[in-house]
């Protein structure tokens, strides 16, 4: 799935979900080290656990963050695939 982000430095997030696990996460733009770290940590994680861990994380003064945007993307994926 490709998700267009909002309110963060990254422009988009691509990912797949296989057997309920989040895989192949790639951020376009953003802070390379942080987004690569988030992608590596989330690889193979259960989609619901990933949402639980990242939902609501803020970046500085912003109301969202790259991890929060990934949680939003995963929620959208779930809604569209239930």
**Would you say residue 38 has pLDDT above 90?**
yes
E strand or H helix that includes residue 39: helix 32-42
The number of domains in the chain is: 1
**Would you say residue 19 has pLDDT above 90?**
yes
Residue with tokens 């590596």: 40
Q: Given this model, what pLDDT does residue 56 score? A: 98
Split at pLDDT 50, 70, 90, the class of 82 is confident
Q: Which long-range contacts (CB under 8 A, 24 or more apart) does 43-51 make?
A: 45/21, 46/20, 46/21, 46/22, 47/17, 47/20, 47/21, 47/22, 47/74, 47/77, 47/78, 48/20, 50/22, 50/74, 51/75, 51/78
How many residues are present in the chain?
Answer: 82
| Average pLDDT of the residues in 44-68 | 97
| Average pLDDT of the residues in 35-51 | 98
Range of the domain at 24: 2-80
Q: Taking the complete model, does pTM exceed 0.75, yes or no?
A: yes
């Amino acid at each position: 799935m490709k998700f267009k982000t909002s309110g963060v430095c990254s422009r988009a997030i691509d990912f797949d979900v296989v057997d309920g696990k989040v895989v192949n996460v790639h951020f376009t733009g953003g802070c390379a080290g942080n987004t690569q770290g988030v992608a590596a940590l989330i690889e193979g994680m259960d989609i619901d656990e990933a949402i639980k861990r990242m939902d609501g994380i803020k970046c500085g003064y912003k109301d969202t963050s790259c991890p929060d945007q990934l949680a939003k993307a995963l929620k959208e994926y779930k809604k569209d695939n239930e």
